[in-house]
Amino acid sequence: MASEAELVGAPPIPAIDTAKVRRGRRLQPPSLSSFAVTFFAVVLLAAFLSPMLRTVSTAIKSKAQITETNAPLWPGDPATFEFEGRKYGIYHVPIEGQTRDLALVVKGRQESQFVDPANPDAGLITWTGSWRALERAWELAPQWGNFASVWDLIDFPRLLFNTAAMALIGTIGTLLSCVAVAYGFARFRFPARGLLFLLLLSTIFLPAAVTLIPTYTIFVKLGWVGTWLPILVPAFFANAYDVFLLRQYMLTLPRELDDAAKIDGAGPFKILTAVILPQAWPVVIAVAVFHIVYTWNLYFEPLLYLSSKPELKPIAVGLADFNSIHGSSPELVQAATLMTVVIPMIIFFIAQRAFMRGIVITGVEK
């Protein structure tokens, strides 16, 4: 082992520039695999969002732009220029090896005359060629008035109230019934529990067309056709999908919590409200969001049971009626569609964290 004197005479060890090392790491090019994953994710996201972007773009376009063959994808109006008290359209004109934006003043078959909007005092410019082959110049002009037109043409507040009321009442019924049934399957032991749960799950695979006529007949005998009862009452009798999600989450909660609550004198209902539900909020919110979106898009049942009561129809049926009347105006149809999806999107973004946490836990941990 070297003595202290030998170490004193040894050359110093050069210091390592950690900042330079970090810069070197940052300058390293990304690997091919990470670039491929990122590129694939961007392409997939663009493909997924393209219909929504097209809907937004169409909703704020004018009808004239939609019928124009060479119109741009973004909302706009044909650019014009006022010359000598009149407005003329602006075209992309190839002149002297470059393309200039000129206003068409005099139209001709072989020769046309233009004026330069940047320098109108220079006079008319003669161009040889067919002006019909030129492309129009467009300027950004979103038509926000399409939404006001939809609001006036359709009784949107009434449709919105009907849909919100159905969604709220149905969500309350779904949560009350599904939480109770899931709690029973997750925490209580009784004969044929597994068989009953299997029968409950088998209803997911039962086609709705099989039960349509018997269900409609029952509601006719009860005198419920023409009211919201055929749509709202079944929500208070649970459904297999939501019961499965809630049960799977409740099974992840340790039973020792129930035993501790029983020692303190808590009964089954107290355990559910004070022990289980406070820890099950993620999946409860997920179920609530599922049902709100389901009710918001509900079309067939309201169309079947509320055909004689147009004042009770939800927004999905009202939108379909609007599309059948104003199908020749795509901008109004797309504007109405955007107005119907605003509230579900707001609800989803507000409950996004709890919603995703509930889906991950119920779908992965069990």
Q: So what's the pLDDT on residue 205?
A: 87
- What type of residue is 65? Q
Reported as a single tens digit per residue, the pLDDT across 176-194 is 999 999 999 999 988 988 8
Q: What is the pLDDT of residue 31?
A: 61
Fold annotation for 147-365: MetI-like fold (1.10.3720)
pLDDT tens for residues 110-136?
Answer: 889 899 988 888 888 888 888 888 888
Give pLDDT, residue 317: 92
User: What is the residue-averaged pLDDT of the chain?
Assistant: 83
Residue 276 has pLDDT above 60, yes or no: yes
Among 70-79, 157-166, 206-215, which range has the highest average pLDDT?
A: 157-166
pLDDT for 14: 52
Q: Please state the domain extents for the chain.
A: 31-75, 80-136, 147-365
Distance CA 64, CA 30 (A): 47
Q: How confident is the model at residue 207 (pLDDT cuts 50, 70, 90)?
A: confident
pLDDT at 23 over 90: no
Whole-structure pTM value: 0.73
Q: What is the rounded average pLDDT of the residues 126-153?
A: 88
Of 302 and 31, the structure prediction assigns the larger pLDDT to 302
Give pLDDT tens digits for 308-338.
888 899 999 999 888 888 888 888 988 998 8
Q: Residue 365 above 60 pLDDT?
A: no
